[in-house]
């Protein structure tokens, strides 16, 4: 809102003050009254009525009424400009956290060993459904999304626009960041994005179904970096037994579950003060994100605001009183 500041007072519509000289301009622009003009209508006792009117509106009375009218007009213009008083600063509390979601898009996320709505789906599709439900409950949080495969990329920075985060997640596909898994680089990128946030709000939720096979930063080194920066990393190992879908039936493949580095993910969580979770199906993954959702939130003050209190009633009331005083002399003479 634009306004003109007057100490603790502001005018919301200061341009309406341009109407102050309007009565003077109207008096100056309109043609003057000619006293020598012949009257258009003659009435009985006209001269006597003129003398009574002249006696009741002498110079002193006309001058007083004129000043009252001018002051009333000034107050009326100030009232129309909407004077507002700035109240004391108020910082409303805001409960929320800054979360970075790191989602694995490596080739193994295409394994169809999950079930969703009674039908078999791949791991990424199941993860998308659970994370989307998790985002629906994150009102007040700022959430960022990064994906990783052979490399790590930030799709959305920390934002309150959770719809954009959800849409970027929906558009993500297996292999978008490469077919391998760069766990260490994903953690390092998340730490970089959270470095400027308050320490108690630096949280990463990392979901993966594999082991570190790419990248320049080892997961243990990345965990040390996260710990030194005060970033908590919650790790989620996601994946079933693996298998092959044949005519609607899931054929398990022994040894596929061993591809997940559970011990390494647990070390990362312990070193950073986070928690390690293991999800073998969609239901357990949903329970894990519900548990993360129940983590105690961090309360931070919202942006301080100064409420605007409307004060236009004061000049309008003054204008009304002055107008009444200006009308009193004419009533006595009536």
> Is residue 278 classed exposed, middle or buried when 0-12, 13-18 and 19+ CB atoms within 10 A define those classes?
middle
Instruction: Kindly state whether residues 276 and 323 are assigned to the same domain.
Output: no
* 253 belongs to a structural domain: yes
Distance CA 250, CA 177 (A): 27
Instruction: Kindly state whether residues 137 and 73 are assigned to the same domain.
Output: no
Please give the model's pTM, rounded to 2 decimal places: 0.60
Helix (H) or strand (E) run with residue 234 in it:
strand 232-238
* 135 belongs to a structural domain: yes
- What are the pLDDT digits (tens) for 91-131? 665 656 788 999 999 988 988 888 888 889 999 999 999 99
* 269 belongs to a structural domain: yes
* 41 belongs to a structural domain: no
Instruction: Kindly state whether residues 60 and 161 are assigned to the same domain.
Output: no
Distance CA 59, CA 259 (A): 104
**Residue 232's domain is classified under what CATH number?**
3.40.50.410
Residue 218, φ and ψ in degrees, nearest 5: -70, 145
* 291 belongs to a structural domain: yes
Instruction: Kindly state whether residues 76 and 164 are assigned to the same domain.
Output: no
The tokens describing 303, both together, are 């942006």
Instruction: Kindly state whether residues 244 and 99 are assigned to the same domain.
Output: yes
Of 181, 109, 127, the residue nearest 152 (C-alpha) = 181
Instruction: Kindly state whether residues 127 and 242 are assigned to the same domain.
Output: yes
Per-residue pLDDT of the chain (334 residues; tens, 9 = 90+): 445 544 477 888 888 888 888 878 877 877 665 555 555 555 555 565 455 445 444 444 445 557 777 888 888 888 888 888 877 777 665 656 788 999 999 988 988 888 888 889 999 999 999 999 888 888 778 899 999 999 999 999 999 899 999 999 999 999 988 889 999 999 999 999 998 877 677 899 999 988 898 889 999 999 999 999 999 999 999 987 554 444 444 455 454 445 788 999 999 999 999 999 999 888 999 999 888 888 756 565 666 677 788 887 888 888 888 878 777 755 444 4
- What are the pLDDT digits (tens) for 237-275? 998 755 444 444 445 545 444 578 899 999 999 999 999
The tokens describing 62, both together, are 């006309």
Instruction: Count how many domains the chain has.
Output: 2
* 36 belongs to a structural domain: no
Distance CA 136, CA 165 (A): 11
Alpha-carbon dihedral 10, 13, 17, 18, rounded to 10 degrees: 140
* 39 belongs to a structural domain: no
Instruction: Kindly state whether residues 177 and 235 are assigned to the same domain.
Output: yes
SS3 label, residue 242: coil
Distance CA 148, CA 152 (A): 4
How high is the pLDDT of residue 172?
93
* 38 belongs to a structural domain: no
Boundaries of domain holding 208: 93-301
Distance CA 281, CA 272 (A): 26
Instruction: Kindly state whether residues 65 and 117 are assigned to the same domain.
Output: no
Instruction: Kindly state whether residues 104 and 252 are assigned to the same domain.
Output: yes
Whether the Cβ atoms of residue 188 and residue 225 lie closer than 8 Å to each other: yes
Distance CA 235, CA 80 (A): 61
Instruction: Kindly state whether residues 109 and 125 are assigned to the same domain.
Output: yes
Q: Using a pLDDT cut of 70, give the percent of the chain over it.
A: 75
Instruction: Kindly state whether residues 158 and 274 are assigned to the same domain.
Output: yes
Instruction: Kindly state whether residues 77 and 177 are assigned to the same domain.
Output: no
């Amino acid at each position: 809102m634009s306004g003109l500041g007057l100490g603790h007072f502001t005018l919301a519509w200061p341009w309406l003050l341009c109407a102050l000289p309007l009565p003077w301009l109207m008096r100056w622009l309109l043609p003057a009254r000619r006293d020598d003009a012949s009257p258009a209508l003659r009435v009985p006792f006209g001269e006597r009525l003129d003398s009574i009117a002249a006696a009741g509106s002498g110079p002193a009375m006309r001058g007083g009424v004129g000043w009252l009218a001018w002051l009333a007009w000034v107050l009326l213009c100030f009232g129309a400009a909407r004077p507002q008083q700035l109240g004391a600063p108020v910082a409303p509390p805001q409960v929320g956290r800054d979360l970075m979601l790191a989602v694995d898009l490596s080739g193994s996320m295409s394994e169809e060993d999950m079930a969703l709505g009674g039908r078999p789906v791949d791991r990424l599709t199941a993860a998308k459904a659970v994370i989307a439900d998790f985002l629906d409950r994150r009102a007040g949080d700022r959430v960022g999304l990064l994906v990783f495969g052979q490399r790590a990329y930030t799709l959305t920075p920390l934002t309150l626009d959770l719809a954009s985060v959800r849409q970027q997640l929906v558009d993500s596909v297996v292999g978008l960041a490469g077919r391998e898994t760069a766990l260490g680089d994903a953690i390092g990128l998340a730490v970089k994005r959270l470095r400027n946030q308050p320490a108690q709000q630096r949280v990463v939720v990392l979901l993966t179904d594999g082991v570190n096979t790419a990248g320049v930063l080892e997961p243990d080194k990345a965990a040390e970096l996260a710990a030194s920066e005060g970033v908590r990393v919650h790790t989620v190992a996601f994946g079933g037994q693996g298998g092959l879908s044949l005519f609607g039936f899931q054929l398990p493949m022994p040894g596929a579950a061993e591809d997940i580095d559970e011990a390494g993910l647990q070390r990362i969580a312990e070193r950073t003060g986070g928690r390690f979770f293991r999800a073998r199906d969609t239901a357990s993954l949903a329970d894990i994100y519900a548990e993360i959702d129940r983590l105690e939130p961090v309360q931070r003050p919202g942006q301080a605001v100064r409420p605007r209190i409307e004060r236009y009633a004061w000049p309008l009331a003054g204008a009304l009183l002055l107008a009444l005083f200006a009308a009193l002399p004419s009533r006595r003479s009536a």
